[in-house]
């Protein structure tokens, strides 16, 4: 072989080798390093970049849909502080939510990865403890997203049956009706995510128009038709406490639930890293602009909803169990307008169920690849024909169906599981944020994030950590006292059970098999 051919071959080999670097941890020595490796061969299947920036916005926005989601919590407004606490708690939660979104945008602009919190914990935690902390971060984060997927599908089922109640007043909703519709909603999301990425993208894109168009329609209809509107004193001054708690401060902090639920799942965009072009730039864009806009529109919706509540007492026994739909019927004084508004809300949660399953499956796929779960190799694989994480999607779906069976055992237990996604979310956020704060050089010497918080980064991260702990604590407190079996808040039980299951899996499986390996394609990280 000629010298020129040898040089060309050597050059090609070098380019092939350094195109991808792999972050590995040595679980015996506790060391972390970046190792250049060859790119994947033709026989290995990976996710394709099927999502545009608009698609990611649609997927993320439909996962929480702030202005629509806030309306589904109106029953809490009447007794837990009333309209003033709803408004002021939203202002408080909005500030902390934006700080969280901006912090994650900075992290994603330096280290975008589908595992998100898992990678960040591994990078910033002390090498001595990084392996176990990374595992528990991933497990609790996966549990949070599975709970969120279950909650989204049940909300969709509740909304569909509530629409049936609006159209047929004599219809009585049964638990088995709800479960069957929940099963249908979950199965639709399963099929779409497994067999049609084009369908997922199309639905996500359409959600941008459905949510925004529906929000405008509802705003205009309420403002035009609601009469008489509530006075400013009702919205901003008249505190209502029917919780049994003697302290207004306690009641105020209990009233954060609607606000933290409506502006949440901040890491959702990060799980789509492998499927969006230039994630180092586009994921932070979604997090910063998306959550800023959602928070602002949410504030407008809180004010409009509060002024347009015509009969507050009716929200405690609403049509079909949905206070938002009761607001439509009471304030719009028009059955067609009420049904159209309810249809917009229901369609939003159709997209939300699908989007939540999409993000959850990507996180589970990434986490399973590290040897964290039995049959992790299969769960972490990508279907060769459809280019989707089929086994991860099925894994999430099965857990959704099993958790949904709790509806036949105890509504309190089911509500605890669905509500626990927030507590698990905040707990999982603590690990990478605390690790980052304790890191001296943060992102490394000379590294400047594309989205840079600058000298405010560490103080903002510290504020977020205190917020995570504070919010997760209050989310475990029962809203009403004296506490009954059905009125008890079992969130702390679900969180404890999640940690116990994670510990058992660690002792009997993950302790031997969990080994962090994260592929980082340097070419896709380049900013443009």
Q: Report the alpha-carbon distance of residue 44 to residue 318 in Å, rounded.
A: 53
Average pLDDT taken over every residue of the chain? 89
Structural contact between residues 432 and 468, judged by C-beta atoms closer than 8 angstroms: no
DSSP alpha helix (H) spans, 333-404: 335-368, 376-379, 390-404
When divided into structural domains, the chain yields a total of 1
Residue carrying structure tokens 């509504």: 411
291: in domain: yes
Check whether the bond before 228 is cis (ω within 30° of 0). Answer: yes
Q: What is the pLDDT of residue 12?
A: 43
Distance from CA of residue 527 to its chain's centroid? 26
In a domain, 35, yes or no: no
The answer to whether position 29 is within a domain reads no
Helix and strand numbers (H, E) in the chain are 23, 5
Residue with the two structure tokens 């176990």? 132
Cβ-contact 222, 305 below 8 angstroms: yes
Would you say residue 447 lies in a domain? yes
Q: Which two tokens stand for residue 263?
A: 């502006």
Alpha helices in 383-490 (DSSP H): 390-404, 411-437, 457-474
Determine, yes or no, domain membership for 525: no
CATH number at residue 363: 1.20.1740.10
In a domain, 372, yes or no: yes
Domain of residue 377 covers 48-515
- What pLDDT is stored for residue 27 in this prediction? 44
Spatial CA neighbour of 54 closest among 282, 278, 389: 282
According to the model, what pLDDT value does residue 23 have?
54
- Which portions of the chain are predicted below pLDDT 50? 1-22, 26-39, 41-42, 521-528
Determine the pLDDT at residue 520: 54
Separation CA 460–CA 466 (nearest Å): 10
In this structure, is residue 475 part of a structural domain?
yes
User: What 3 state SS string does 500-519 have?
Assistant: HHHHHHHHHHHHHHCCCEEE
Residue 390 forms part of a structural domain:
yes
Cβ–Cβ under 8 Å, residues 363 and 172:
no
Residue 484, pLDDT score: 86
pTM: 0.91
Q: Which residues contact 445 (CB under 8 A, 6 or more apart)?
A: none
């Amino acid at each position: 072989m000629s010298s020129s051919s040898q040089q060309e071959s050597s050059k090609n080999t070098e380019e092939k080798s350094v195109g991808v670097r792999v972050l590995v941890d040595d679980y015996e020595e506790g060391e972390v390093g970046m190792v250049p490796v060859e790119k994947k061969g033709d026989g290995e299947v990976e996710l394709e970049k099927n999502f545009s920036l608009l698609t990611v916005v649609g997927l993320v926005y439909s996962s929480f849909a702030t202005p629509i989601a806030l309306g589904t919590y109106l029953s809490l407004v009447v007794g837990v502080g009333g309209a003033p606490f709803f408004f002021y708690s939203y202002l408080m939660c909005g500030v902390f939510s934006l700080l969280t979104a901006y912090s994650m945008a900075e992290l994603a602009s330096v280290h975008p990865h589908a595992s998100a919190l898992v990678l960040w914990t591994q990078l910033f935690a002390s090498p001595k403890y990084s392996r176990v902390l990374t595992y528990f971060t991933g497990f609790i984060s996966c549990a949070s997203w599975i709970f969120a997927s279950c909650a989204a599908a049940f909300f969709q089922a509740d909304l569909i049956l509530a629409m049936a109640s609006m159209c047929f007043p004599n219809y009585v909703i049964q638990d088995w009706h709800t479960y069957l519709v929940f099963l249908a909603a979950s199965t639709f999301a399963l099929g779409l995510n497994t067999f049609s990425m084009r369908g997922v993208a199309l639905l996500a894109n359409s959600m941008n128009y459905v949510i925004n168009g529906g929000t405008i329609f509802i705003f205009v209809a309420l403002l035009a038709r609601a009469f008489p509107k509530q006075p400013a004193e009702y919205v901003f001054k008249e505190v209502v406490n029917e919780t049994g708690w003697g302290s207004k401060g306690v009641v105020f902090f209990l009233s954060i639930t609607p606000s933290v639920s409506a502006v949440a799942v901040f890491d959702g965009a990060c799980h789509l890293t492998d499927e969006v072009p230039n994630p180092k730039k586009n994921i932070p864009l979604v997090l910063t602009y998306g959550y800023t806009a959602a928070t602002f529109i949410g504030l407008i919706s809180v004010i409009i909803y509060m002024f347009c509540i015509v009969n507050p007492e009716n929200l405690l026994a609403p049509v079909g169990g949905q206070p938002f739909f009761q607001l439509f019927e009471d304030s719009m004084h028009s059955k067609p307008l009420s049904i159209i508004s309810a249809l917009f809300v229901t369609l939003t949660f159709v997209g939300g169920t699908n989007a939540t399953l999409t993000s959850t499956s990507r996180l589970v796929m990434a986490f399973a690849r590290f040897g964290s779960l039995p049959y992790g190799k299969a769960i972490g694989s990508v279907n060769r024909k459809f280019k989707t994480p089929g086994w991860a999607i099925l894994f999430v779906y099965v857990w959704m169906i099993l958790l949904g069976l709790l509806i036949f055992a105890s509504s309190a237990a089911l509500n605890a599981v669905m509500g626990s996604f927030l507590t698990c979310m905040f707990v999982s956020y603590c690990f990478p944020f605390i690790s980052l704060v304790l890191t001296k050089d943060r992102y490394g010497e000379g590294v400047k994030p594309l989205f840079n918080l600058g000298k405010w980064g560490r103080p903002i991260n510290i504020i977020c950590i205190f917020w995570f702990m504070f919010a997760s604590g209050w989310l475990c407190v029962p809203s009403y006292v004296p506490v009954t079996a059905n009125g008890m808040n079992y969130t702390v039980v679900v969180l404890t059970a999640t940690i116990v299951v994670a510990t058992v899996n660690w002792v009997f499986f993950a302790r031997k098999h969990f080994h962090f390996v994260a592929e980082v394609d340097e070419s896709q990280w380049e900013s443009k």
